[in-house]
Structure 1
Amino acid sequence: MRTMKRAVLALTFGALSLVGAVFSYDKELAKRFNAMFSQMTPEVLKQRPCQITTQQLLQMIQRGEDFVILDVRTPAEMAVVGPTWKNTLRIPMHELFKEENLNKLPKDKKIVVVCHTGDRAAAVVTALRALGFDKAFQFRGGVAELAKEVGRAATDYVK
């Protein structure tokens, strides 16, 4: 009986250890994510300080502002359609955080991050800002929104 209790205890302890391992997480990585996302308070998100709309982008072009468009879409997406602004960098999201690619990004100019719909751009901007690229902005709506708006109003902004 005593041996059976020990076996049950050992089995229970082993199962609890396994459950603990399954539900554990990388605490250091969680701390880094906390440092990034803790800045995104409801007050900050309400102001949308990290976003640029199509209208704002077209006004920046019209005013002759010096900025960079960073296209983070896949090479296949870039091959179909994309921004042709003179200061466009095309670095897919899956390659962006390599040291040689981060070194291509300016720290002294606005960086407008573009993807297809704006979702990947939001993630990239969060990471870039955490790395110190304080002038990184998500292009809200992505290339899809840009194509719609440019089709309607480009002649009002770009001559």
Structure 2
Amino acid sequence: MIKKYLFSSLATAVLAVSASAYDTAKAENMNHFYSHLTQQACADSKLFTTGEDVMKMFRDKAKFTLLDVRTTGENAIVSLSSENAMHIPVKNLFEKANLDKLPTDQPIIVVCHSGTRAVMVTMGLKQIGFKQVHVLKGGLVALAEANNPKNAPLK
């Protein structure tokens, strides 16, 4: 009798742990967010911007923020010195104090080394309500390649 009770208690505990292996509410939110990402929606996406587009924004003196999400170490070697630039590493970005620094009235172009972290950050910012967030496709590498005499902002 005790063995049956222990076995059924253990089985119930195992099933309960398995049933709650993920957060159902978060999964529903993610499903709502990602269910709109059809092939056509991805093809038509305004999520990405190019280095040339960013250089044009500089030349046109457009209002935007270039959000550098690379590590402090990466930023120490190569940093963005534009007045449009803001450096907040990914690991600290979603802290309230840092989110409060982000503008809501102008585009935010998220940049990292090659674009991978920027995609994750942009999706996260969009999920919490930021509307004008874009990924610099190709990251800092693409921006450096686009920064040439033809594209550089005039002083």
- TM-score normalized by structure 1? 0.83
Match of 1:25 among 22, 25, 30: 22
Paired position in structure 2 for 1:93: 90
Do structure 1's residue 14 and structure 2's residue 4 form an aligned pair?
no
Q: Describe the SS at the equivalent of 2:149.
A: helix
Paired position in structure 1 for 2:149: 155
**For residue 127 of structure 1, what is the amino acid of its counterpart?**
G
Q: CA offsets per residue over residues 56-114 of structure 1, 9 Å max, x none?
A: 11111112211110011111111111322211111111111111111111111010000
CA distance in 1 between counterparts of 2:9 and 2:39 reads: 43
Does structure 2 retain, via aligned residues, the 8 Å contact 1:36–1:127?
A: no
CA distance in 2 between counterparts of 1:83 and 1:123 reads: 20
Q: CA deviation at 1:120?
A: 1.0
From the CA coordinates, give the structure whose radius of gyration is larger: 1
Paired position in structure 2 for 1:34: 31
**For residue 38 of structure 1, what is the amino acid of its counterpart?**
S
Greater percentage in helix: 1
- TM-score normalized by structure 2? 0.85
Instruction: Give 5+ residue unaligned stretches, structure 1.
Output: none
Q: Which range is displaced more, 39-48 or 101-110?
A: 39-48
Match of 2:109 among 91, 107, 112: 112
The percentage of aligned residue pairs carrying the same residue is 30
Q: CA deviation at 1:131?
A: 2.1
Q: CA deviation at 1:15?
A: 4.4
Does structure 1 retain, via aligned residues, the 8 Å contact 2:109–2:133?
A: yes
CA distance in 2 between counterparts of 1:79 and 1:19 reads: 49
Instruction: Give 5+ residue unaligned stretches, structure 2.
Output: none
Count of residue correspondences: 152
